[in-house]
Amino acid sequence: MRAAVGDVVPPGPEPDSADAGLERALRAARDGDESAFAVLYRCLQPRLLRYAFALVGSEAEDVTAETWLHVARGIRGFVGDVDGFRGWVTTICRNRSIDFVRRRGRRPTDPVDTAALADLPDGQDASEEALGAIATRRAIARILALPEAEAEAVLLRAVVGLDGPTAARVLGKRSGAVRVAAHRGLRRLAQVLEDERTAAGGGDA
């Protein structure tokens, strides 16, 4: 059965010109340019905040603030390209989220306010427009209801925008395993949404 559901399809790669600009910003930020660091922050923070919110709920802003402090302290020693930087920042965010959950004695799968998650700010450039396709209460709620491995794979691929190998490094798993988990998660979401449309007589759920 074909799954044609626009609100659960991972965003495509960012334009080359955008990545080129980020590469320049990354090089400058490693040399201590604060304005270049701000460019990286503005680009990555909207997606990172959504990811953290899915993991820790209302503490997402604290988690991402701690993440960026860690990034600021370590960026001079970072070696890699923009994709590697995205993965590095996301790994830090994930680790900080796990630390917060342990300190608070809560599981990261506790229910979160999906309405608030849907309302988190998007970036302003064209690369963020694809995120709007999944930034609905329904889609976010469905992602969070997936089995944990599938949910996090979908979040990393569709919300954070990481490629398969980078998402695998963040999770400490084989790339193939993460690809399969994301594929299964997206198929499951597609089936749920198609069932909802069918139950609603072909209209939007």
Q: What is the CATH number of the domain that holds 59?
A: 1.10.1740.10
Question: For residue range 58-93, what is the model confidence (pLDDT) as tens digits?
Answer: 888 999 999 999 999 999 999 999 999 999 999 999
In a domain, 8, yes or no: no
Report the range of poorest mean pLDDT among 6-10, 15-19, 191-195.
6-10
In a domain, 155, yes or no: yes
* pLDDT, position 19: 77
3-state secondary structure the chain: CCCCCHHHCCCCCCCHHHHHHHHHHHHHHHCCCHHHHHHHHHHHHHHHHHHHHHHHHHHHHHHHHHHHHHHHHHHHHCCCCHHHHHHHHHHHHHHHHHHHHHHHCCCCCCCCCHHHHHHCCCCCCHHHHHHHHCCCHHHHHHHHHCCHHHHHHHHHHHHHCCCHHHHHHHHCCCHHHHHHHHHHHHHHHHHHHHHHHHHCCCCCC
In a domain, 4, yes or no: no
158 vs 2 pLDDT, higher one? 158
In a domain, 131, yes or no: yes
* pLDDT, position 55: 86
Structure confidence at residue 104 as a pLDDT band (50, 70, 90): confident
Domain with 164 in it? 15-199
Structure confidence at residue 13 as a pLDDT band (50, 70, 90): very low
* pLDDT, position 17: 63
In a domain, 193, yes or no: yes
Domain total in the chain: 1
Report the range of poorest mean pLDDT among 129-133, 141-145, 165-169.
129-133
147 vs 7 pLDDT, higher one? 147
pTM of the model: 0.71
